[in-house]
């Protein structure tokens, strides 16, 4: 089967770097969650999710692994856990992911393709959790004495790094428009 000119133009415009980064980010996130939820943190005799686990694994004096479930958004905002809230969050996240995919399709440089791919892969990882487990599985816990940063996961890290790259691109590498006074 041969591609016609229209099909080959679509293939040329495909954001290959961004799509590969998104797939790798999604895969790494889901593998890390499977390991933590199913192999490390799940208590004996418990099959459903979300579940409570008292297990804490100290990795460094300021970093530990502990199971937390987020039915809300960042920092547990809108954390009611009701079916309506979960469905609404899945819809909102899906619209955001489609918007970022649209941007990714229109970005030409590898830097911005990577940024968009990280955001999409991380966002999809958290959407998969909401659909399959009813909440997002978080387990990375940084702390100092009694203060704890909100527990997070690899998907959140990918999203944060992607947004950071996007902001750096906007602030540093893009030409700035000057306002004229006249």
Q: Please tell me the least confidently modeled range out of 41-50, 76-85, 122-131, 139-148.
A: 76-85
Q: What is the pLDDT of residues 95-130, one digit of tens each?
A: 999 999 998 988 878 999 999 999 999 999 999 998
Residue 138 annotated in active site: yes
Phi, psi of 181 (to 5 degrees): -95, 10
pLDDT at 3: 55
Query: Which tops the pLDDT comparison, 79 or 35?
Result: 35
Q: What percent of the chain has pLDDT over 70?
A: 82
Q: How confident is the model at residue 179 (pLDDT cuts 50, 70, 90)?
A: very low
Average pLDDT of span 27-51: 95
Average pLDDT of span 60-85: 78
Task: Choose the catalytic residue: 29, 129, 141, 156.
Answer: 156
pLDDT at 6: 54
Handedness of CA 144, 148, 149, 152 (dihedral sign): positive
Task: Choose the catalytic residue: 29, 129, 138, 141.
Answer: 138
């Amino acid at each position: 089967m041969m591609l016609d000119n229209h099909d080959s133009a679509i293939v040329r415009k495909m954001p290959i770097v961004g799509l590969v980064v998104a797939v790798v980010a999604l895969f790494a996130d889901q593998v890390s969650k499977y390991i933590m939820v199913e192999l490390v943190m799940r208590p004996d005799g418990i099959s459903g999710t979300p579940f409570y686990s008292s297990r804490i694994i100290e990795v460094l004096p300021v970093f530990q692994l502990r199971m937390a479930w987020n039915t809300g958004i960042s920092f547990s905002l809108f954390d009611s856990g009701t079916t309506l809230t979960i469905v609404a969050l899945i819809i909102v996240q899906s619209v955001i992911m489609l918007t970022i995919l649209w941007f990714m399709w229109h970005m030409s440089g590898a830097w911005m393709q990577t940024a968009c791919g990280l955001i999409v892969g991380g966002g999809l990882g958290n959407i998969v959790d909401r659909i399959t487990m009813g909440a997002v599985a978080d387990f990375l816990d940084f702390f100092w004495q009694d203060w704890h940063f909100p527990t997070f996961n690899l998907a959140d890290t990918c999203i944060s790094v992607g947004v950071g790259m996007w902001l750096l691109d906007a602030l540093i590498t893009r030409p700035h428009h000057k306002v004229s006074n006249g």
